[in-house]
Amino acid sequence: MSNICSIGLGIPEFTIEQQNIKEIVQEIFSYSDKQINRLLPVFDNAAVNKRQFVVDQSWFLKEHTFKEKNDLYQTAAENYSLDAIDDCLKNSDFLQEDIPYEAIDMIIFVSSSGIAAPSMDVHLMNARPFRQDVKRMPLWGLGCAGGAIGLARAHEWLTAYPEKTALIVCCELCSLTFQKGDSKKSNMVGTALFGDGVSAALAVGDESPYLKSRKTSTPKTIAASSYLKRNSEDVMGWDINNDGFEVIFKKSIPSLVDSFWREHVMKFFEVEGLKSDHIHSFVSHPGGRKVMEAMENVLQCSKEKLKFSYQVLADHGNMSSATVLYVLREWMKETIHPGEKSVLSALGPGFSSELLLLEWME
């Protein structure tokens, strides 16, 4: 089993209100009045109030090469990942004492919005006094499902090595993938939803000496499940061209929640002996308002059980893999009675679904 003891954030410098982003889009793209009236409501209906970015709004008005964007990704990814790691290991909200960098046995680095080789975990190890024998697991291309997958891989490793500790870092700088020349609706939807964010989670095994460092009721991962829809590569992801990453985002995603995701949830609940009304809370990656509403319909639950998914979406937008840890962090700040169960979920390219069963511990 794995115990999630702390979560830290690396919050980018620039906050832009949704209305300002809408105005920037009107300035950038040359649409007819008919097209504008059809496309702009996506900004009003996204349930996003503001987002954080590693660049200011003037950056979006200029052309940038793929190299320029990726160089900026590498610099900002290192800086904000270190912020998230420091916040995670020294977070007095969750920990009775700081966790030394030398205590970390594995670093799982999750990202899909930039490229680095050596992988970014190498840069992080060189910037902080981690041990030289740390296991490294860089995960790329998992998109919005990456945070849940990172937790699942940590859970499996810590179940095999219960005396160990793992650090899961999710870093997504979606703003740096923006393509000024892409006027397709998928880019408009992505521009209305996605923001930048970095999160880090500390997970420890049942026999780790650092388990005693946790301060509050924390979640233990009990089970994890993956599910892939065959031949659905065109639903979500990147089309990589000369300008960088061009977003693929099909309008069918909410309907896939009602069909494909429902099937996964029902199978998972059957295997784990769960019923929706037995679940205290749903730690769901908020893909967007329509996705959240489709999830509510599948789960037949109240918005209260998804409240922090809606809150994170409103305050930060969709930050791809990092988002689900933002949501979990909010639930960890609540007082949740030992024995209560939560389900953590995320959807990603593939088209894929990840589900984790969490139980809250003393």
Tokens of 30: 């040359």
Q: How do the domains of the chain map onto residue ranges?
A: 2-213, 218-361
DSSP 21-88: HHHHHHHH----HHHHHHHTHHHHSS---EEEESS-GGGGGS---HHHHHHHHHHHHHHHHHHHHHHH
Average pLDDT, integer, range 86-104? 97
What confidence category does residue 308 fall into, taking pLDDT thresholds of 50, 70 and 90? very high
Query: 38-84 pLDDT, tens per residue?
Result: 777 778 788 899 999 999 999 998 889 999 999 999 999 999 999 99
Q: Which of 144, 170, 171, 174 is the catalytic position?
A: 144
7 CB burial (10 A radius; 0-12, 13-18, 19+) = buried
144 is known as an active-site residue: yes
Share of the chain above pLDDT 70, in %: 97
CA–CA distance, 211 with 172 (Å, rounded to integer)? 28
Phi, psi values for residue 233, rounded to 5°: -65, -20
pLDDT at 180 over 90: no
Please tell me the predicted confidence (pLDDT) of residue 35: 66
Q: Which fold has domain 218-361?
A: Peroxisomal Thiolase; Chain A, domain 1 (3.40.47)
pLDDT at 142 over 90: yes
The pTM score is 0.95
pLDDT at 254 over 90: no
CA–CA distance, 184 with 248 (Å, rounded to integer)? 10
* 2-213 against 218-361: fold identical: yes
Superfamily name and number for 2-213: Thiolase/Chalcone synthase (3.40.47.10)
